[in-house]
Amino acid sequence: MRIFSGIQPTGKKHLGNYIGAIRQYVDGQERAAASGDESLFCVVDLHAVTVAYDPAELRERLYDTTAVLLAAGLDPSKCVLFRQSDVPAHTELSWLLSSVVPNGRLSRMHQFRDKSGAQRELVSSGLLFYPVLMAADVLAYRADEVPVGEDQREHLELMRDAARDINRRFAPELGPGEGGKPGLLMVPEQRTPEVGARVMDLQDPTRKMSTTGGSVEGTVYVLDEGKALEKKFKRAVTDSETEIRYDRAEKPGVSNLLEILAASKRISIDEAVASMADARGYGDLKMAALTAVDEELAPLRERYAELRPDVAALEAALAQGAARATELAAGTLADVREAMGVGVPRAFSGARPGA
């Protein structure tokens, strides 16, 4: 069971990132190791340049993100943690995949439509091509599973279709790459948490918690603590009723708090509802969710404070991971180049053009 996922180094990481992705990475690290395979986690800095950004801030955010991942429990001795731009195979494979990904499908992707609609100036071609690079990120390692949030399903489907199309067109004799059968590329499966797959904004529980599209007051950052954290939960939007029940349609604010409580305590929604049977009102629910989140994130905050100042150690961890990632991706890329008729044939692998 080989596992791969990537995370952008843009913005401060929030509770939705943690529950929907980062905590899954740590679980995946252990499951992959138990299966005798590898897990790879990538800080995708190339994806971050598809929208307007500040270069100096990008570097700082990359170190922030790397420190958060390590503080959450990723261990470079158990997994491969690396920076996307350190492995050129990602960009080359994305170009090769572009031969089978329809342009019209890219322009219809929800993320492209949302982000391009929000940008008043340049809409980069990189933003359009983003899903192809994301596909290459995963397919380069022949990963079986991708732990991501529910909002990434559209990208995962494009990725799976790209792998199928490459396999059918260029190496049908090798198999489909799914259903337990080999193939030139593996068709990965998406893994989302049963609880907390889509954490919503505390101020607008109809919108996903986000560092770019959400509210500052409704976004819980993983490094929030004390009064700042308490203030956000106390002001969380609920509704005019008093009953604490899970109903996303009729009670989105209460349901979001219940889901946060359940995810933080690693219990089911039903158990979270049952735990509030003696609550005096929504205030008790807010405090229960606050306490659960604070207890879950406190060890991460403490470890982050130790790790973040040592940039040399962070770079060393990323370099170690990049070396292994380069090795793994090189085999996949060589196979795809051979199947697609690109570059020096294997029969002449010791030669170079003009030699």
Domains and CATH numbers, the chain: 3-193+310-348 (3.40.50.620), 226-307 (1.10.240.10)
Q: How does the average pLDDT of the chain come out, rounded?
A: 91
**57-61, 87-91, 116-120: range with lowest mean pLDDT:** 116-120
Distance CA 256, CA 269 (A): 10
258 has a pLDDT exceeding 50: yes
268 has a pLDDT exceeding 70: yes
Phi-psi region of 343 (alpha: psi -120 to 50; beta: other; left: phi over 0): left
**pLDDT given at position 355:** 37
pLDDT band at 118 (very low <50, low <70, confident <90, very high): low
**22-31, 146-155, 180-189: range with lowest mean pLDDT:** 146-155
- Average pLDDT, stretch 38-56? 93
pLDDT band at 192 (very low <50, low <70, confident <90, very high): confident
**pLDDT given at position 221:** 96
pLDDT band at 78 (very low <50, low <70, confident <90, very high): very high
pTM recorded for the entire structure: 0.91
**pLDDT given at position 121:** 63
- pLDDT tens readout for residues 133-153: 999 999 999 999 998 777 788
- Average pLDDT, stretch 28-35? 95
205 has a pLDDT exceeding 60: yes
Q: What residues does 3 pair with on adjacent strands? A: 39, 145
- pLDDT tens readout for residues 79-92: 999 999 999 999 99
107 has a pLDDT exceeding 90: no
- pLDDT tens readout for residues 212-241: 777 889 999 999 999 999 999 999 999 988
Of 6 and 121, the structure prediction assigns the larger pLDDT to 6
With a pLDDT cut of 70, the percent of the chain lying above it is 94
With a pLDDT cut of 90, the percent of the chain lying above it is 76
Phi-psi region of 341 (alpha: psi -120 to 50; beta: other; left: phi over 0): left
